[in-house]
Each structure stands twice: as structure tokens, then as C-alpha cells.
Amino acid sequence: MFSATTCNDKAMYVSLTVTIALGLAATVAANIVGGGCNYRERSPPGSAPSSTSSPTPP
């Protein structure tokens, strides 16, 4: 199987591995150093359900 792998495939595997490793490192660093990101605080007010938009039962 290794002999059927082209140079382009090997380059793609390396770039995918580097991309995943950098993303993992950034996530770990952000959670250790900066406390991560609280998406509930950053969501716009219109995206959260409110008590006034719920239907009234008959």
C-alpha cells in the first residue's frame, strides 16, 4: 500500500497532520492561558430564545 502512495498524497498527509496539530495546540493554549471562549456570552440577543416568543397554550 505504501508503494501506491504518491508524493502528492504524502504531502497532503503532512499538511493535514500539521493543520490538525496546530489547531489542537491553539485550542489547548487558549483554554489553559485565556480560559477559552464562552460562546453563550458572545451570541447575539436575537439568537437566544426568549420567554416572550413562546406560544401561549389555549
Instruction: Provide the residue-wise pLDDT of the chain in tens; the chain has 58 residues.
Output: 667 889 999 999 999 999 999 999 988 888 888 776 666 676 666 665 555 555 666 5
Q: Has residue 24 been placed in a domain? A: yes
Query: What domain count does the chain have?
Result: 1
pTM of the model: 0.54
Asked whether residue 48 is domain-assigned, the answer is: no
Domain membership of residue 49 (yes or no) is no
Residue at 17 is within a domain: yes
The string of DSSP letters for 6-55 reads: -HHHHHHHHHHHHHHHHHHHHHHHHHHHS----HHHHS-GGGS--GGGSP
Q: What is the pLDDT of residue 31?
A: 80
Question: Is the residue at 47 inside a domain?
Answer: no
In a domain, 55, yes or no: no
Residue-range definition of the domain harbouring residue 15 = 1-35
- Exposure string for 33-47, b = 16+ CB within 10 A, e = fewer: eeeeeeeeeeeeeee
Using only C-alpha atoms, the chain has a radius of gyration, in whole angstroms, of 22
11 domain residue, yes or no:
yes
